[in-house]
Structure formats: structure tokens, C-alpha cells
Amino acid sequence: MGIGTGLLLFLLLSAHVDQGEGTPMSRERDSVHIIVDFADTAEIDRWVTVNDNVMGGVSEGRASLAEDGNMLFSGSISFENNGGFASIRARLEDSDLGKYEGFRIRVKGDGRIYQFRVRVDGDSDGIAFKQDFATTADTWIDIDLPFAYFLPTYRGRNLQGVKPLNATDIGQIGFLIADRTAGPFSLIVDKITAYQLIAPVDM
């Protein structure tokens, strides 16, 4: 359930990443809709854990409140009993995202590769749409995940012949780690927003 080098390079070049240094073309002109802001600590309670134990594995992953008041997605990946993934997910209360272009997430990771995943109509066990993203250890980064780049997947297999993701149907969001690396992981999430570019972004 990992990703190839070519696909990773494509995604890294495609995603707009801002490490807080600022750019000549300010993002303040974007239209942004806040989906989740973990300044409201009650948001943590909406996130459900789904790990590889549903298939007999023993990996661990959970959502908890980080020391800085953000959400911490953490645990440990194990390949025992053919396992290898951990995930968390939450239903959207307001899923009318049709006028936006994608998700923007602000995260601080550990250098590992994660997935941001969505499901339509809140379906808990159907097709998911995913986008992989790389993290920089101990560094806050903003990552844009355009709706057009989400790929359909089911139980670790990429699917062909599936209609592209329709943003108006999104009913669930989540994070997953399945980077074929055993051991502990840690991803801190500050905000999840939907964006619409009003002015071009200076790359």
C-alpha cells in the first residue's frame, strides 16, 4: 500500500507546500472554508480509529489531543499477521464543498508519508479516494490537495474505471499511514480547510 517514486515526485511537485516563510503572492487572497479547527478540543471526539486489526493485524493508531492543543495521530505500524496500516476518520457535518478546489491541511510530521482520504456520503467501508503527502520532520507545513488528484482505492488496491471524486458528495475525511515502514509514527494536525484560489499561487 505504498506509493512509487514517480507518483510521489508528481504529488510533491503538484501540491503547494508552504513552510511558513511566505511567498510574493500572498495566500490571504484565497477563499478558505474551515472544515476542522482543533482549537476546539471537542473535535477530537469525532475521530474514529480504524487499524489493521480489522484484518487480524496488530498495528496501533489513535487520535488524541496534542500538548499544543492540536490533534495528534500517533501509534506504531507492525507487519505481524499481515498488517501494516493505521487510520483515523471523521464524518463531515457540512459537506457542501462543490465551489472549492481542494483541501488544505496544516501538519507537522515525522518525515514519513501519509494519506489524506475521503469517502462519499459518509460510507464507512466502500471506495475511498486518497492522496499521499510527505512530511518534514518536526516542521509545520501547509499542503494543498486538489480534488482532481484524489485516486480511488479499496482495501489497498488502486481502482480503474471509477468516476472521479465529486466534491459535493464528500461525507467523510481521514488520515492513514501505510508506508511499508514498521515502527512508531506521529502526525500533528492543526487545521483542515477547503480552498478556492482567487489569485494565482506563485510557485
* pTM more than 0.85: no
Domains, the chain, ordered by start: 5-196 (2.60.120.430)
pLDDT band at 201 (very low <50, low <70, confident <90, very high): low
What the block records as the C-alpha cell of 123 is 460510507
pLDDT of residue 41: 84
User: What letter represents residue 27's amino acid?
Assistant: R
Q: Look at residue 93 in the predicted model and tell me its pLDDT.
A: 76
Exposure class string for 118-142: b at 16+ Cβ within 10 A, else e: bbbeeeeeeebbbbbbbbeeeeebb
When comparing pLDDT for 31 and 112, which is higher? 112
Instruction: Give 69's contacts (C-beta < 8 A, 6+ positions apart).
Output: 38, 39, 41
Q: Count CB neighbours of 60 within 10 A.
A: 18
66-102 confidence digits (pLDDT tens)? 988 899 999 999 999 999 999 999 998 766 799 999 9
What is the pLDDT at residue 31? Answer: 83
Q: In the prediction, which pLDDT does 202 show?
A: 56
- Kindly report, residue by residue over 109-126, the tens digit of the pLDDT: 999 999 999 998 656 678
Mean pLDDT across the chain:
85
**Given this model, what pLDDT does residue 155 score?**
83
